[in-house]
Structure 1
Amino acid sequence: MNATPKSVVGVDTAKSVFQLYTVDKETGEVINQQIKRAQFLQWFANRAPCLVGMEACGGSQHWARKLQALGHEVKLMSGKMVKAFVCGNKNDSADARAIYMAAQQLEVKAVAVKSEGQQAVLAMHRIRQQLVKVRTAQINELRGLLGEYGEVFGTGRKAFDSGMKAALDRLAERLPAPLIDTLRDQWNELARLDERIVRIEASLLAWMRQDRVANAIFAIPGVGLLTATAAVAAMGDAKAFRSGREFAAWIGLIPGQTGSGGKIRLLGMSKRGDVYLRTLLIHGARAVLRHAKEPGPWLKQLSQRRPPNVVIVALANKMARMIWAVLAHERAYDKDHVSVRPHAAAAA
């Protein structure tokens, strides 16, 4: 964060009515008031530049961009972080006060404010993700319904499609025609879902080819179209993270820990942050581990002494650090690059 602004305002956003909490630096007056949505920007328009804290929830990115355009500094925070500062009963007034307090804590990390273009890419990812879920659910539903009549299929989409037509022809001889027509419509709907998913992927590919940043990380092994576009859009400004480890921690690819009395015990993955991006990185790491002809000495040694899933998560963590390094240092990916600590480089 920059130097401490003159004043801090905590904002609890909602659909129609917002709650504002601030303390006047000169008089000490506590301002805890509701304001209508239409008057929200007007309230900030004539104020001196200040730090505005908000939870990173629906619509917060839009308001953050608007407030930044007015010259204010915005700190978006995870709701989980803000919750620790709620005292007493939970209501809009208490939430706004908690946001006000959390915004002033250096330990509470900010969520990057994204541009409309970055949000558009993430929106396409969300729509594609939902279509994939619907397609999977529809296939499972058809498998279950046909299984009730003795028709089963092999694992995978190809086996399902190849056996579906013959199964419907056999069932048509003994089941009502309306049911067969409904099952066939459900099956044909899968092709339409496929087409919509392909169109979204084509749009993402066109965007990636025009974006220099996404192209730079696309060269990293295990980083495909979806991972490259999602990482660039979700990260925002790479320099907002101090290191690759901080970026990996933001995604949730580092161990959680618990401790007391000076004894620290490491747990499994913390699983914080963006679930979607973390899933893409883990799938990419799994593909590298399975298909790489020359995995490299680091990966070979790790595979010999740790379980496969641990190796996959470790590789995903390394991929996240490489993504941050490529973007933060604005350089092309080099598989032979050797990292050097700053103090070691200065000594040399």
Structure 2
Amino acid sequence: MKITTIGLDIAKRFFHVVCCNDQGRLVSKKMLSRAQVLTFFQNHPSCLVALEACATSHYWAREIQKCGHKVKLIPPQHVKAFLIGNKNDYNDALAIAVAAKQHHIKSVGIKSIEQQDNQAQHKARELAVRQRTALCNQIRGLIAEYGIILNQGVNNIRKNIPLMLDDETKPLSGAFKTILRQLQVQLNALDTCIEAYGKLIVETVKTNDICQRVQTIPGFGPMVSSAYFNEVGNGSNYQRGRDVSASLGIVPRQHSSGGKDTLLGISKRGNSYLRCLLIQGAKAVVSRANTKNDKLSQWINRLVQTRGHNRACVAYANKMARMAWAITVSGEEYSPV
């Protein structure tokens, strides 16, 4: 029987393959070691190979594509619905194969090496920011035990640590000051790290044509355009701009029944990091719209008056995502109306 679909359950060492025919019936299944995976697909006739969109899936998708197969990455939450019986690796692979044949399930775009390089920069910077926040909270907590309460904020802590180390009137022991100096060194190192990652992102954006064109849209800077490219790429995985904004969770959540449409707050699905950056960029534009008189600013000002500042920010973030997709696929730059 001709095999048309292969479900592949990936792991670190042992991979499980399920082969199905055009009617969805199971033809064969087998377990492969990591070294055997590419050899198996190189020797197999071209077909649809489905993987779950999880860790290392983009790497394997690219490598399997090189073997001449069509590859689909299925979101894990959609695979779960097709799992029948007990959970094991073969049943997982079969559920992936069945989910891949459902036309209403949208697949995840396969990231290029360039996208993954850019994403690594953002992930490393995001990690350093989280570590700095945790360190600042730790410093505030330790100092509070000596009766000194510091206000929140990294800048406030940077400013106050040297003052406390030099002030002999503060109730800090010599042993604690030694610890505080070491924590100050850690804080400075994280600041240097974050600054270096930021400069690296800016330099990378300068050589990326899509990021350069997207930055012509008000609200897009190097950070936002780079994160957008990491998620959307060349936009070929989306049919329209509305699909991009929906995938990022900046559209209303729907709960309709009986012919009555009910729209709630935004769905907050998808990439929360990019959604956060888009809304931050939108806030910068909305806060300055009242000083301008172009059509975009007039639209924003009307929204602020009728719906409030925060809703206007989210609405413009939605528009930013849609405009960015249009610019990405058209090869043009933003042109104010």
Do both proteins adopt the same fold according to a TM-score greater than 0.5, normalized to the shorter chain? yes
Which residue does 1:320 correspond to in 2?
321
2:194 is aligned, of 188, 194, 197, to: 197
Structure 2 residue matching 1:42: 3-state secondary structure? helix
1:259 is aligned, of 253, 256, 259, to: 256
Which residue does 2:148 correspond to in 1?
151
Which residue does 1:333 correspond to in 2?
334
What is the CA-CA distance between 1:172 and the residue it aligns to? 7.9
RMSD: 2.0
Matched, 1:218 2:252: no
2:121 is aligned, of 120, 124, 141, to: 124
Q: Is the 8 A contact 2:5 2:22 kept in 1?
A: no
Identical pairs, percent: 38
Aligned equivalents of 2:149 and 2:165: distance in 1? 12
What is the CA-CA distance between 1:133 and the residue it aligns to? 0.6
Q: Is the 8 A contact 1:204 1:229 kept in 2?
A: yes
Matched, 1:185 2:182: yes
TM-score if structure 1 supplies the norm length? 0.90
What is the CA-CA distance between 1:171 and the residue it aligns to? 6.4
Q: Relative to structure 1, is the Cα distance of residues 86 and 155 closer, same or farther in structure 2, using a 3 angstrom cutoff?
A: same
Aligned equivalents of 2:166 and 2:243: distance in 1? 57
Q: Relative to structure 1, is the Cα distance of residues 248 and 27 closer, same or farther in structure 2, using a 3 angstrom cutoff?
A: closer
What aligned pairs does 1:167-178 form with structure 2 within 5 A after superposition? 167-170=164-167, 174-178=171-175
Matched, 1:206 2:206: no
Aligned equivalents of 2:13 and 2:64: distance in 1? 18
Matched, 1:108 2:105: yes
Q: Relative to structure 1, is the Cα distance of residues 172 and 133 closer, same or farther in structure 2, using a 3 angstrom cutoff?
A: farther
Give unpaired runs (5+ residues) of structure 1. Answer: 337-348
Which residue does 2:233 correspond to in 1?
236
Superimposed CA distance per residue, residues 181-230 of structure 1 (whole angstroms, 9 cap, x where no aligned partner): 11121122111111111111111111111111110011211111111111
Matched, 1:309 2:310: yes
Amino acid of the structure 2 residue aligned with 1:103: A
Q: Is the 8 A contact 1:21 1:32 kept in 2?
A: yes
Where does structure 1 differ by over 6 angstroms across 4 or more consecutive aligned residues? none
Amino acid of the structure 2 residue aligned with 1:85: F
Structure 2 residue matching 1:259: 3-state secondary structure? coil
Which residue does 1:38 correspond to in 2?
35
Q: Relative to structure 1, is the Cα distance of residues 169 and 265 closer, same or farther in structure 2, using a 3 angstrom cutoff?
A: same
What is the CA-CA distance between 1:236 and the residue it aligns to? 2.2
Structure 2 residue matching 1:11: 3-state secondary structure? strand
Aligned equivalents of 1:172 and 1:60: distance in 2? 58
Structure 2 residue matching 1:52: 3-state secondary structure? strand
TM-score if structure 2 supplies the norm length? 0.93
Aligned equivalents of 1:261 and 1:183: distance in 2? 63
Matched, 1:280 2:277: yes
Aligned equivalents of 1:125 and 1:287: distance in 2? 21
Which residue does 1:345 correspond to in 2?
none
**Which range is displaced more, 57-66 or 197-206?**
197-206
1:71 is aligned, of 54, 68, 74, to: 68
